[in-house]
Structure 1
Amino acid sequence: MIGKIATGEVEDERDEVKSAAAQLGSLGGRKRAESMTPERRAEIAKKAAAKRWSNGA
């Protein structure tokens, strides 16, 4: 079935509905960010950027 969808023989008819857990997960990060101070968010972002750029590049 996957092959037929990929080649265009069959149309993918599944619903693009997220599971309940996925819907709640997408809200979690936003709620967490709202509860933090701008300074704390900046601290986390700087740490993530440093980690991202320090990996052998």
Structure 2
Amino acid sequence: MDFRTRPTKERNVKPYQVIQVLQENGIECNEQDAKEILDFLYLLAKLAMHQYLNEKKD
């Protein structure tokens, strides 16, 4: 299984927190949207860390 498709074991940010932050900034979303946003953000974080660590090896 690839690091991009492996689920994160522990997620510190919960969908309700995403909804709250977005609402504070005038954006409405439901729980499913919040979950998809979190999936995307966790993927971006994994990609950034993977790229950073690969650059450190070189």
User: Do they superpose with TM above 0.5?
Assistant: no
Q: Which has the larger radius of gyration?
A: 1
Larger relative CO (CA 8 A, sep 6+): 1 or 2?
A: 2
